Amino acid sequence: MVLTCEGLLSTYPEAWQAATVHPFLTQCQQGTIRPAQFNTWLVQDYLFVTQFTRFVGRTLAAAPDEHLDILLSGLNALQDELNWFREKAAERSLDLSTPRQMTCQIYCEFMGSLVNAPYAVQATALWAIEYAYNQGWQLPGPMPAPYTEFADRWGNPGFTDYVKLLANQADTVLAIAPPGEQAAAETAFLRVAALEKDFWQMAYNAAV
Ligand code: HMH
């Protein structure tokens, strides 16, 4: 049987639920998240996105011609996102030269380790990473200020469409990938799900 993004979600509903439903997000939606926890997440996510941008760049380097357009649109959005993170950090007087927490570091190392993975594995991981935030920030429902713009960044319809295009691209290459590559893509999906769960939890570990 051929692996697809939809197939991964229906085979591993618990892992995906744990990746995308967390008290951190519920508390943002209720306006009860403590600022220190939100700020911890914000700084660590900026540090994550710097490495994620490099991961998308490496994925683009391995992509077939017909996938470049969508990956370039993703990198373009990441340029804006990195600048937006810097603005949000400045508004809150947060120091972005903070060290990465262990979970952030492990996630960044995992993305780095995919440099030698086949493109089908990279494309599946890329889709999973983006879909985790697309769903995570959308599922709780509309969020109050100051969290509205955070929920909108990853929950907006344009981002939802982008994530669907990433799924289509991953599905296209998974359909012709040998069984070993499909198995590696499945492993990468589960790894992303576990790391996403840990990343939400990290916000509660330490104040910035
Ligand atoms: C942890 N996962 C994490 N941070 C992000 N910004 C994304 C995914 C993006 O999509």
> Does the C-beta of 198 come closer than 6 Å to ligand 1?
no
**CATH classification at residue 188:** 1.20.910.10
Among 117, 123, 111, 155, smallest CA distance to 136 is for 155
Residue 18's CB is within 10 A of a number of other CB atoms, namely 16
pTM score over 0.95: yes
Among 127, 142, 105, smallest CA distance to 174 is for 127
Q: How far apart, in whole angstroms, are the C-alpha atoms of residue 205 and residue 208?
A: 10
Q: Atom 9 in ligand 1: which residue has the minimum CA distance?
A: 130
196 is catalytic: yes
For residue 196, which atom of ligand 1 is closest to its CA? 1
Cβ contacts of 177-180, under 8 Å, gap ≥ 24 = 177/3, 177/118, 177/120
> Does the C-beta of 194 come closer than 6 Å to ligand 1?
no
Residue 160's CB is within 10 A of a number of other CB atoms, namely 15
Residue 72's CB is within 10 A of a number of other CB atoms, namely 13
Greatest extent of the chain over all pairs of C-alpha atoms, in Å:
51
In terms of residue numbers, what domain contains 26?
5-204
Q: Which two tokens stand for residue 93?
A: 């007087």
**Confidence (pLDDT) at 206:** 66
> Does the C-beta of 129 come closer than 6 Å to ligand 1?
yes
Mark the ranges of the chain whose per-residue pLDDT is less than 70. 206-208
**Confidence (pLDDT) at 160:** 98
Positive or negative torsion for Cα 131, 137, 140, 141 = negative
Q: What is the pLDDT of residues 63-100, one digit of tens each?
A: 999 999 999 999 999 999 999 999 999 999 999 999 99
Q: What is the pLDDT of residues 127-136, one digit of tens each?
A: 999 999 999 9
**Confidence (pLDDT) at 205:** 82
Q: How far apart, in whole angstroms, are the C-alpha atoms of residue 176 and residue 174?
A: 5
- Number of domain units in the chain: 1
CA 168 vs. chain centroid, Å, equals 17
Span from the CA of 1 to the centroid of ligand 1 (angstroms)? 30
Residue where the block lists tokens 């591993």: 12
For residue 134, which atom of ligand 1 is closest to its CA? 10
For residue 45, which atom of ligand 1 is closest to its CA? 4
